[in-house]
Structure 1
Amino acid sequence: MSTYLVSDIHGQYQAFQKALQDASFAPRQGTSLYVLGDMIDRGPQSKDVLLFLLELRQQYPAQVFLLKGNHEQMLEDWLSRRGDAENYLRFNGGDATVRSFLGHHPLRRAFAVGGLPSPAIQEEARQEILARYPFLLSALSSLPLYMELPADERTGSPAVLLVHAGIRPGVPLTQQNPHDLLWIRQEFYDEYTGELPIVFGHTPVPKLPGYRGNGPWRREQLVGIDGGAAFRRGVLLVEWPSLQFIFVPIHDVQPYPLVHVNG
Structure 2
Amino acid sequence: MKLIWCHSAVEFVDPVRPKARTKETPGMSHQPVTYAIGDIHGERTRLEDLHAKIFDHHRETFPQRELKLVHLGDYIDRGPDSAGVIALLMELEERTDIEVVNLRGNHEQMMLDAYGEEARDFRMHWLTNGGDATLESYIRRGDEDPPPSHLRWVRDLPTLHLDNDRKIAFVHAGVDPKTFPHSGEQIHMWTRSNRFFDPGRWDVGELKGWQVVHGHTPTKDSRPLVAGSPPRRFNLDTGAVYGGLLTAGIFAPEAETVDFIYS
Assess same fold via TM > 0.5: yes
- 2: CA distance, partners of 1:136 / 1:24: 26
Displacement, 1:76? 1.1
Q: Secondary structure at the match of 1:136?
A: helix
How far apart, in 1, do the equivalents of 2:260 and 2:48 lie? 15
Q: Does 1:214 align with 2:223?
A: yes
Task: Find the counterpart in structure 2 of residue 239 from structure 1.
Answer: 250
Letter in 2 for 1:21: A
Length, aligned pairs only: 212
Paired residue for 1:129, among 129, 145, 159? 145
What is residue 38 of structure 1 aligned with on the other side? Answer: 74
Which residue matches 1:189? 197
Moved more, 78-87 or 18-27: 18-27
Taking a change above 3 Å as real, the CA distance of residues 61 and 159 of structure 1, as seen in their structure-2 partners, is farther
More helix by share: 1
The aligned counterpart of 1:223 is: 234
For the 8 Å contact 2:225–2:235, the answer to whether it is kept is yes
- CA 1:148/1:61 → structure 2, altered by over 3 Å: closer, same or farther? farther
Deviations 1:29-49 (A, max 9, x none): 832100010011110011111
Query: CA–CA distance in 1 between the matches of 2:80 and 2:151?
Result: 20
- % identical aligned pairs: 29
| Distance of aligned partners of 1:143 and 1:69 in 2 relative to their CA distance in 1, 3 Å threshold | same
**Under a length normalisation based on structure 2, what TM-score does the superposition of the two structures give?**
0.73
Q: 2:52 aligns with which of 21, 24, 43?
A: 21
Contact 2:224 2:235 (C-alpha < 8 Å) held by counterparts: no
Report the aligned-residue RMSD. 2.5
Residues 216/15 of structure 1: CA separation in 2 closer, same or farther (3 Å cut): farther
Counterpart mapping for 1:63-212 below 5 A: 63-80=99-116, 81-82=118-119, 83-90=121-128, 92-103=129-140, 105=142, 128-130=144-146, 133-151=147-165, 158-174=166-182, 176-187=183-194, 188-190=196-198, 192-194=201-203, 195=208, 196-206=210-220
CA contact (8 A) 1:215 1:247 kept: no
Gaps of 5+ in 2: 1-31
> 3-state DSSP class of the match of 2:261?
strand
**Which deviates further from its counterpart, 214-223 or 227-236?**
214-223
* TM-score normalised according to structure 1 size: 0.73
Report if the CA contact (8 A) 1:7-1:39 is conserved. no
The alpha-carbon distance between structure 1 residues 230 and 217, as it changes in their structure 2 partners (threshold 3 A), is farther
Aligned partners of 1:129 and 1:85: how far apart in 2?
Answer: 12
